[in-house]
Structures are given as structure tokens and as C-alpha cells.
Structure 1
């Protein structure tokens, strides 16, 4: 027993000498990006206020009309156009996931009118069949898929690479929705190029607000190059408002106007 006691003493002493590790600090949660579900919902509502004069973006799957902007039919939740290729891509994808759907028969016509404002081969029943397709959950999923693949995901990826927050990512998204990301001077990539010539993004050590203002300046220039987009209120009385308030996280409540109409997200 004595031996056991003597052996136990140094063990106890050594244990007491071991410093207690400091309590781990709770990890700081990363700031959400525009791809956070709650932020994405806000983005969809703001874009819908400009594209459809409504916050109810989910009611727009069935939307279709020719708005006389030279792009043929404009339709769906993000304004897919028969004249710009993204509507063709959408119907091709829909036909892959649901062969024999009501729009599949229009694929030859959509290929022919791509790049034009023509309705040849689409009228008189295309708008009716689009509305029918919009009742199909597979078509709604197809619209979501193509919106994300072509517009939303590239905008968020580039925004994160440039070091801008949720508002900046939304500014990118709204620009790519309207202008696409082609090679023409008013495309998203060239709007961004003009902005980079004026200011550095945060990823290069620049001030975020200064850079986003430069981007919006370039965006307004691009919008004014085309009569159909010459009303710049979706920038002036919406995105600029959020930026002036320093709301780089696009946090609610949000109040803005588009085409003079007021909107609110609480």
C-alpha cells in the first residue's frame, strides 16, 4: 500500500503541472453569400420587381410576351428570350428531363429564330403551350436549373472571386440577367472590364463601395445604349439606394423603387 501511495504522488504532481488548454473560441460563421437560400429569395424578388413589376417571382413561370425589344418572346422567371438562345437552351433541357413535353415540338422553330425577333414557327400556339408547360413541376425545375446555370451561379462565383459581398453579387446577377455574358460591348464581362479600369475590387485591395459604384456607372452606360433598357431606375432607385446606405449584406428591411413603383421587403 505504501508503494502504491508513493507511486501515486508523482503522477498526481505531474498531472497538476500540465497547463489547461484554453477554451476553444467559437468559430465565426462565414458571412452568407447571395447563394444563401434567404438571400437568394430576396434576389429573386428584387429582380422580379424590375422584370415583372411584382415581388411574386414564382408566379412568373407562366409569363410570356413580346416586349418589342428585338429579342422575340420574353418568358419565364428570368426573361428567357426566343432570340437570344437561352429559351432554346431551356426547352432543350426540359425535353431531356421530360421527353415528349408540350414545348418539344417547337425546338426546330426555336433554332431557326435564334438571333432574331421572329415568331416564325412559334405562332399562334406557342404562348398558350408555354402557359400549359408552366403547370408542370418539371418545367418549373428546368427554369430554375437554367436560371442558376446561366445567370445566378456565374454571377455569384465572379462576385466572390472579386471579394464583393451579397449586394455586389446581386448587382452582378442583375447585370448578367439583363445583358448576358457575351462578347458585345454591353455584356456583363465588358461592364465589369470598364469598372475594373476605374476602381479596384476588394480582392485587389480596393474599396468595395467605390468599386461597386464604378460597376454601376458602367452598367448605366450599357443600359443607355439600348432604348429598351434606357430606364435605369432598377439601378438608380434600387441598387444605388442599398449601396448609399452601406447595406453591403443586402439585409432587410429593404425599400426601393423601380419605374416609380415602391417595393418593400421586411
Structure 2
């Protein structure tokens, strides 16, 4: 048994040595706060090993994440009401976490660390001397101790409060909607809103089909829902596809000029009519669908697939997509390669939080190399703020800042 004693509140917890110490006795009046409480997991291997197996009273049941999926997984327990947590006892199965965090939250979206370790060795961890009051408790496993994933026979939290009544009907939800990546419609919409706040100073990205202007950044005209550029080939691709689907549209006549200016910041052959034609085309549902398909084909899907291959959850997928949109897929890969040279991905056995923090550092450094992207708030006060809040799954409510403006998504 690993028995760890902490003291002095959260500040002391975060700097506690990771060596095992002799446990101090917990109060005999403390009760189990987690028994048969509603529990969610980021993933479950099968119906035989559900999330509720970690909190029920049956010693023969357990939760297992399985080996597939992101390298970071979690079990989250609703204590029913704000409870003081003094002790957490984890009984690991064979598949244990080498690195994990015990976290608490008031709303299930913003998390704060109670305890963290990177030297877990499985079996039983009895962490005492905790001091926090919150409604939700999470075990966030960030680095595998075995290739099999993570599995817990038991998660028990103790505190002086009165245990909330069991809610067995709520414990049937094993894989919550919030755990999906950006390949789910709800999470994709959240990601598009966050990116739009940086690109358009609004979360209403659907209002931007007709946007067009020259930002004087060397890319010619920037237009549409993700800033297609007349000098960066993607605007040419959009108009080409639009003309294929709807010949004779108002933009078709500008294709020769778009081909000529591609790779430059020139407006030759586009002025004065092209901006007005773009805005007129934005009223056409076919043109709007072309823009969405181009966004997904050129930026969104390649970035999300790369993030999934690295074992990143929704926040990491957002970070890759935003980088691809600003820098292009090839530059995203270059940024990632610089990070991988010194930091393992979750699939390689690395800690997802550490890897994503390093990626955001590299991304911000890349942005600062050009004057047009020197404002790194989309990284520092948006994506990094969500990472610091432990919101790897983009669970609402979300709050972030970009360019000094504050945004919130409630659902």
C-alpha cells in the first residue's frame, strides 16, 4: 500500500515530495462520500467494466478504460453537494496510472488539483491530509503504467460531512457526451466558436460567410468563415469548387485572376468588383456549404486526425486545428515535430497536460516570429486558460479571453 500524507492545503499539496510517507490516521468520524454516487468515465473498455464499478460496494467490480483511445482518461464522481474531502483511497487493478491527479470542481468544468504524482506504482494509494470542499471529484490519469490503459477496483473519498444519498439511476451513464472529441457535432461547434472568437471577434462563426477584407498581412484578401486567402491557395480552391458545383456563379469570372495572384498579395484583376461578388455569393446556401467543406477538408479533419493519433482529447484537437488554420497543415506538423523531439505524446506514454503545455509554448513562439500574428492571446488566454482549468474535454460552461475580450459558452 502507498500511503501519502499531505498538509497545508492545496498550495502544500502541489509541492509535496512524491516519496511515500507514513500515514497519519484519518478522523474516525469521516464517512465515505463516493459510495454509489453518480459516476462518469471518459471511456469504458466494455459494459463488463463500467465507471460505476469503481464506486459501488461490490469488491468484484471495477472500471477499465481499455487500451484504445487517448492516453489521458478520467473517472468523475458527483458527491451530490459540496463536501469537504480529506482522504482519497485508490485501489488500482493491473492497469494503473504512473502519473495521475486528484482534482475537485464546483461545476464539473473547471478543475483544481488536490494532489498529483508521477511515480505511481499501482496497487493501493491512500492519500490523506487533503483539504478541499467541492461537489465533484475526479481521478485524472495522465500517464500509463502499463500498455493496457487504466483500471480501478475502487475510488473512495472520505470527509466529515454527511454522505449524499445514493442515486443508482444516475450511475448508469458510463460514457458521458462531454467526453467526445471534435468528431462529435457538439464539441466541433464549441471548437468553431472558440476559433471564431480569435478570427472574427465573435463566436457566431456563421455570420462570417460574407466577410472579406485585406488585412495587409501579405496574404491579399482574407475572406469567409476561416479567413480563406487570395494569396494562400485556399480561396482559389473555394471558388473553384463553388464553380464546379454551380457553374456561372457570381465569382466564377474571377477564377483567372485568382490563379494569377495566388502566392502574392496582389489584387490585380480582382478590384473593384470581387469583394462585392463574394458578399453576394454568401447568400447562396451552396457557397456556404462549399466554405464549410473546404474548412473541414483542408484544416479541421487533418488536424483532428493528427491529434487523435497523438492521443489528445478535445482541447488538444482544438489546439492542433487552430494552429493548422493559422499556419497551414505543414507548419502545424513542423511545430509538433519540434515538441515531440523533447516531449513524448500521450500515445508514446507521455503526460498529455505536459505535452499540450509544451505544444502551446511552441505555437506561441511560432506566432511571435511574424508581426501579423504577434498577439498570442488565442493561445495564452484561451487555450492555455482551458488547460490550466483542467478542461481537456471542452466541457461547458467555458470562459476565455481573446484580444482582451471575454467570451462564454454555456452549452
TM-score band, normalised by shorter chain:
0.7 to 0.9
Shift of 1:26: 8.2
What are the ranges of 5 or more consecutive residues in structure 1 without an aligned counterpart?
A: 1-23
SS of the residue corresponding to residue 401 of structure 2 reads strand
Runs of 4+ that moved beyond 3 A = 24-31
SS in 1 for 2:225: coil
Residue 79 (str. 1) matches residue 227 (str. 2): yes
Q: Pick the aligned partner of 2:291 from 138, 143, 154.
A: 143
Does the residue aligned with 1:124 lie in a helix, a strand or coil?
coil
The Cα shift of 1:32 comes to 1.0
Q: Distance in 1 between matches of 2:315 and 2:249?
A: 38
Q: Which has the higher contact order (CA 8 A, sep 6+)?
A: 2
Distance 2:317 2:196 in 1: 16
Of residues 232, 235, 254, the one that matches 2:379 is: 235
Does the CA contact (< 8 Å) of 1:151 and 1:177 recur in 2? yes
How far 1:198 moved relative to its partner? 2.2
Instruction: State the 1:45 CA deviation.
Output: 0.7
Deviations 1:72-112 (A, max 9, x none): 00000011000000000111111111111110111100000
Aligned-residue CA RMSD in angstroms?
1.2
Structure 1 CA distance for aligned equivalents of residues 320 and 335 of structure 2: 10
Aligned with 2:399: secondary structure? strand
Decide which of 332, 353, 357 is 1:188's aligned counterpart: 332
Output the CA distance in 2 between the equivalents of 1:252 and 1:90: 33
Which residue number in structure 1 is paired with residue 405 of structure 2?
261
Number of equivalent positions:
239
Residue 271 of structure 2 corresponds to: 123
Q: Please list the CA deviations of residues 197-228 of structure 1 after superposition, one character each: whole Å capped at 9, or x if unmatched.
A: 12111010000010001111110111011000
1: distance between equivalents of 2:392 and 2:361?
Answer: 17
Structure 2: unaligned runs, 5 residues or longer: 1-46, 51-173
- Aligned twin of 1:209: 353
What is the CA deviation profile of residues 19-50 of structure 1, one whole-angstrom value per residue up to 9, with x for unaligned ones? xxxxx648754841112100111111111100
Verify the 8 A CA contact 1:155 1:169 in the aligned structure 2.
Answer: yes
Contact kept in structure 2, 1:198 and 1:214, CA below 8 Å: no
Report whether the alignment pairs 1:50 with 2:198.
yes
Query: Matches of residues 39-118 of structure 1 in structure 2 within 5 Å?
Result: 39-118=187-266
Q: If each structure's strand is expressed as a fraction of its own residues, which one has the higher value?
A: 2
Alpha carbons 2:316, 2:392 under 8 Å: kept:
yes
Structure 1 length as normaliser, TM-score? 0.88
| 1:182-202 deviation per Cα after TM superposition (whole angstroms, max 9, x unaligned) | 3xxxx1111111111121110
Residues 377, 403 of structure 2: 8 Å contact kept: yes
Q: Secondary structure at the match of 2:407?
A: strand
The answer to whether the Cα contact below 8 Å between 2:302 and 2:329 also exists between their aligned partners in 1 is: no
Among 396, 400, 410, the alignment partner of 1:252 is 396
Alpha-carbon separation, structure 1, partners of 2:234 and 2:394: 28
Helix, strand or coil at the partner of 1:202: coil
Q: Matched residues in 2 for 1:95 and 1:32: separation?
A: 36
Structure showing greater radius of gyration is: 1
Distance 2:401 2:317 in 1: 20
TM-score (norm. length: structure 2): 0.57
